[in-house]
Amino acid sequence: MLLQYEQIGEIFDCLSLGVIILSKDRKILSINRSAEQLTGFPASGTVGLYCYNVFLDYLCGGRCKFLESEDEIRQTLVSDIAVTDRQNKTTSITKIESPLYGQDGEMIGCMEVFQDHSAFRELIKRIRFDDLRLKLILDNLDIGILTLDRGNHVTFFNTKAEQITGFSRTELLGKSCKSFFGPWFCEDVLDQCGYPNGNSEHLTAETRLITEQGQPLPVRVTYLPLKNESDMIVGGLTTITDLSLKYHFDSAIKDRYTFYDMIGRHPDMQKIFDMIPMVAATDTTTLIEGPTGTGKDLLAKIIHNASQRAEHKLVKVNCASLPDTLLESEMFGYVRGAFTGADRDKPGRFQEAEGGTIFLDEIGDLPLPLQAKLLRVIEDREFYPLGSRKTTGVDVRIISATNQDLHQLVKERRFRQDLFYRLNVMRIALPPLKDRKSDLPLLISHILQKICTAMDVPVKKISKPAMHILLNYDYPGNVRELENILEHAVIICRGDTIEKDHFPRALTAAEAPAESPGPDPDTSGPGDRSERVKIMNALAQCRWNKTRAAKILNIDRSTLWRKMKKYEIAS
């Protein structure tokens, strides 16, 4: 695992960012070329040594924040430091320290990232509010910069700031900054900088701003007061650094999700956003409903990570993916001798989720006998492991999800009514993407940026014909299908603009006029086209429940999976 993190140093060398990877016991595992240059310490003389014996006074100010912190409160730390090398030259460095976690959630080491801002700091010392030559230099820096007058009106906005925020300088110049970037940016930066009162201190903060697409973007900002020739404060300069890369890196390492991952301005989504803090603050059993691909898994993770159980596990059980004979032992565990081959006790998913949350996906497919057992867990907080005569107590929160109509299943006597009422205490219904198409531009922008960041490629543009296709497609696979389409396009696209030819063939075929469809590029003949339509109709009829769709088509579930893959039907 740590070897994978060490490769990050090679990538960050291209960005002139120093990276040092440390083991859990604080031994230096690797130091990239940029870190060697910034610190003056070669890898040959430092790898294998304890970092506090090498860098404690030089980079850490004489104290190690990670060694002095408890495991449960260690988090990413950002600080600005000044270091003096052996030639007595002072360098201004921004340092980011982040713990690294293994697949089991245990900390396995630490990563420290360094960036030299000395040249930029020297430039800031020389700048004056009306110095156009220096502003030309600032416009070409790879960091977002805006300047404000004493009334918070934008007087300068460089090219990088345009790229980060999506706003053009012509939109902002001369206008109040508070009318564009949202309440968080104002509260965390503008309301604290205090330059009208003569405060000459600089301010650094991590906050959010609202982009031109209406999307909240995590950023790190540094405010510095600007002075005229008489040393009077006449405004402020604010740098903006996009933290999307850091945020997605943290999410991938910790498997943590926050509001940033769920996007939508549609009224239905806003109602859900309003509900999440209230639902997360309780241990109430919660039911999430919605078609396949709408983000039920993601919403469960968000609720868990916003709750008081966030420090414990979120354990997922897919009730449709396991045979009935294995599902009970998987959920509730078994004792030694419960069946042939049970040579030891094995805890189930409920015990694994002790103190945390268990997420029961596709709850509508839970067999009736297990529904009765689940009802007892909800009511009594205890259950019998398979083959045991003693009950096992458990403290978990239950979140369930379904793409079926549970109320209809109750009418058909395929789902217990008493269990339905127990699960349906708090209900959140995620709308299909076709019912909130006004969110498509926002989702496309957010997903595209996330994919490009993960692939370490520049963010692609989308041509008008390609965007027309994306905005007019119904997405039977919902947000998941949109993600798959954009990822496919990014992989195929070799330039900086995604064209319609970069989309999966099934998408461009769906856009063809109905009166002259021409040959289906995904299949070998009319019979295959007809089969694809039959599968799509069966899935739609069953609200994308693949088990029921397979029964309607009179094929087994694995055959359905293969055919869906063949016809590029999002699962």
Q: Could you tell me the CA-to-CA distances from 333 to 28, 350, 372 in Å, in that order?
A: 42, 8, 16
Amino acid code (one letter) for 186: C
- pTM comes to 0.54
Residue with tokens 């959630």, as numbered in its chain: 105
Coil, strand or helix at 525: coil
How many residues does this entry show for the chain?
571
User: Maximum CA pair distance of the chain?
Assistant: 88
The pLDDT value recorded for residue 34 is 79
Amino acid code (one letter) for 345: D
Amino acid code (one letter) for 134: L
Q: What SS3 string covers 349-402?
A: HHHHCCCCEEEEECHHHCCHHHHHHHHHHHHHCEECCECCCCCEECCCEEEEEE
- Please report which helix (H) or strand (E) contains residue 33, including its range: helix 33-39
Indicate the DSSP class of residue 226.
E
Amino acid code (one letter) for 270: Q
Token pair for 525: 């003949």
**DSSP codes, 154-203:** EEEE-HHHHHHH---HHHHTTSBGGGTSHHHHIIIIIHHH-GGGT----E
Token pair for 306: 């916003």
Kindly give the interhelix angle for 464-472 and 440-455, rounded to the nearest 10 degrees: 120
CA 463 to chain centre: 26
Cβ neighbours of residue 78 closer than 8 Å, sequence gap 6 or more: 94, 95, 96, 97, 204, 206, 220
> Is 2-116's fold the same as 121-246's?
yes
Angle at 233 between CA 232 and CA 239, to 5 degrees: 145
Q: Which of 243, 245, 214, 208 is nearest to 444 (CA)?
A: 214
Indicate the DSSP class of residue 104.
T
- Please report which helix (H) or strand (E) contains residue 45, including its range: none
Query: What is 261-429's CATH number?
Result: 3.40.50.300
Each residue's pLDDT expressed in tens, for the chain with a length of 571 residues? 444 445 555 556 555 678 888 888 888 888 888 788 777 788 888 888 888 788 776 677 666 666 555 554 456 676 767 776 656 667 777 777 777 777 676 777 888 887 766 555 555 555 444 455 555 666 666 778 888 777 777 878 888 888 888 888 888 887 877 777 877 777 766 666 554 444 456 677 788 888 877 777 788 888 777 766 666 777 778 888 887 666 655 555 555 555 556 777 788 888 898 888 899 999 999 999 999 999 999 999 999 988 999 889 999 999 888 787 788 888 888 888 777 777 788 888 999 999 999 999 999 989 888 898 899 899 889 988 888 888 889 999 999 999 999 999 999 999 999 999 999 999 999 999 999 888 888 888 888 888 887 787 888 889 888 988 898 888 999 999 999 999 999 999 988 899 989 998 888 776 644 333 333 434 334 455 567 777 877 776 665 677 777 878 888 777 787 787 777 675 5
The listed CATH number (1.10.3720.10, 3.30.479.10, 3.40.1170.20, 1.10.10.60) that belongs to domain 517-571: 1.10.10.60
CA distance 367 to 17: 54
Domain spans, the chain: 2-116, 121-246, 261-429, 433-511, 517-571
CA distance 443 to 486: 11
Q: Could you tell me the CA-to-CA distances from 180 to 166, 214, 509, 555 in Å, in that order?
A: 11, 10, 40, 55
Class of domain 121-246: alpha beta
CA distance 206 to 219: 6
Query: 41, 49 in Cβ contact below 8 A?
Result: no
Query: What is 2-116's CATH number?
Result: 3.30.450.20
CA distance 354 to 350: 7
CA distance 529 to 520: 7
Amino acid code (one letter) for 524: S
CA distance 566 to 175: 54
Please return the burial class of 14, using the count of CB atoms within 10 Å of its CB with bins 0-12, 13-18 and 19+.
Answer: exposed
Return phi, psi of residue 82, to 5°: -115, 125
The listed CATH number (3.90.45.10, 1.10.8.60, 3.40.30.10, 1.20.1260.10) that belongs to domain 433-511: 1.10.8.60
CA distance 105 to 98: 14
Residue with tokens 């970037």, as numbered in its chain: 181
Query: 120, 99 in Cβ contact below 8 A?
Result: no
Cβ neighbours of residue 41 closer than 8 Å, sequence gap 6 or more: 31, 54, 55
